[in-house]
């Protein structure tokens, strides 16, 4: 079954964009997933194709109207999860994209301007998701990021299933460093253990490096991983 993505946006020409290249592009061409892009402005009801209005309570900027967004969502809605890309959403995680990848697809609503009328978000019970603690011009880049992260986990998209298992965040840790030929470059040598042919020792070194890097760069991930390990130990 083809994994289906629907994107609701005011800028449909931004898609597929980078998703037409590399793994995602080949998978799109091969039918592993499909992409449907809907222009929210097509659901405007006046000759100016107006989709926004001033916010109640005052303030700068404009807000996407609930009736316009509702009509756009209704045109593609089915049993797939509905995600609104917004900087105030819960941060996207690898667990999120794993769950999406095993489903039938996703519907993505790209916010613009000051935001989307909260009533339509609540009426459709949208999941509000952010790709990071910063503000973009709109949700389109967030949608591209979410789709790229998800599509690469679909069956037959990646060349090796082991690649996904060893990546950063797959085990709750950041990934260990990688090296390839030449064995020495600009006076920098590859760690001897990686040239030893001792698979168990290599695995232990990689695990230790993943732990070290996670402790140093993402103490939040390290604390979460330590808590999970403690819970497993307590249960056994």
* In the chain, domain spans: 3-151, 168-235
- The H-assigned helical ranges of the chain are 22-30, 66-74, 94-101, 118-123, 140-151, 161-166, 199-217, 219-235
Comparing 30-34, 128-132, 172-176, 203-207, which segment has the lowest mean pLDDT? 172-176
* Residue with tokens 């998209």, as numbered in its chain: 157
* Residue with tokens 């249960």, as numbered in its chain: 235
Per CATH, is 3-151 categorized as 3.40.1280.10? yes
Terminal Cα distance for the chain, rounded: 39
Q: What is the per-residue pLDDT for 47? A: 93
- pLDDT mean over 211-228: 93
In this prediction, residue 165 has a pLDDT band, given cuts at 50, 70 and 90, of low
CA distances to 68, 74, 130 from 85, in Å:
17, 17, 6
Work out the mean pLDDT of the chain and round it to a whole number.
Answer: 93
Q: What is the per-residue pLDDT for 91? A: 96
Q: What is the per-residue pLDDT for 92? A: 97
* 13: its two tokens: 């020409």
Say if pTM beats, i.e. exceeds, 0.75.
Answer: yes
User: How far apart (Å, rounded) are the C-alpha atoms in residues 216 and 212?
Assistant: 6
Share of the chain above pLDDT 70, in %: 94
DSSP classification of residue 20: G
* Domain 168-235 classification at class level: mainly alpha
Q: What is the per-residue pLDDT for 81? A: 98
Comparing 160-164, 165-169, 189-193, which segment has the lowest mean pLDDT? 160-164
* 232: its two tokens: 């497993």
User: How far apart (Å, rounded) are the C-alpha atoms in residues 7 and 83?
Assistant: 10
* 130: its two tokens: 């952010």
* Residue with tokens 């509000």, as numbered in its chain: 128
Sign of CA dihedral 87, 88, 91, 96: negative
- pLDDT mean over 98-115: 96
């Amino acid at each position: 079954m083809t994994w289906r993505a629907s994107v609701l946006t005011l800028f449909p020409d931004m898609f597929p964009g980078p998703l037409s290249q590399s793994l995602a592009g080949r998978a799109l061409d091969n039918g592993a997933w499909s992409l449907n892009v809907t222009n929210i402005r097509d659901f405007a009801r006046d000759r100016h194709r107006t989709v926004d209005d001033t916010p109640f309570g005052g303030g700068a900027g404009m807000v996407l109207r609930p009736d316009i967004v509702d009509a756009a969502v209704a045109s593609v809605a089915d049993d797939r999860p509905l995600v609104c890309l917004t900087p105030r959403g819960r941060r996207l995680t690898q667990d999120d994209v794993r769950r999406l990848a095993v489903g039938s697809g996703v519907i993505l609503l790209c916010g613009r301007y000051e935001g989307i009328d909260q009533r339509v978000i609540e009426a459709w019970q949208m999941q509000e998701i952010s790709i990071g603690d910063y503000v973009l011009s709109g949700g389109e880049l967030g949608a591209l990021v979410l789709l790229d992260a998800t599509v690469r986990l679909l069956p037959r998209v990646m060349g090796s299933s082991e690649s996904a298992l060893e990546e950063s965040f797959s085990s709750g840790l950041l990934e260990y460093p990688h090296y390839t030929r030449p064995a020495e470059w600009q006076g920098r040598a590859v760690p001897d253990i990686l040239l030893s042919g001792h698979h168990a020792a290599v695995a232990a070194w990689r695990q230790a490096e993943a732990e070290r890097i996670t402790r140093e760069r993402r103490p939040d991930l390290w604390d979460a991983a330590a808590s999970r390990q403690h819970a497993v130990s307590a249960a056994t």
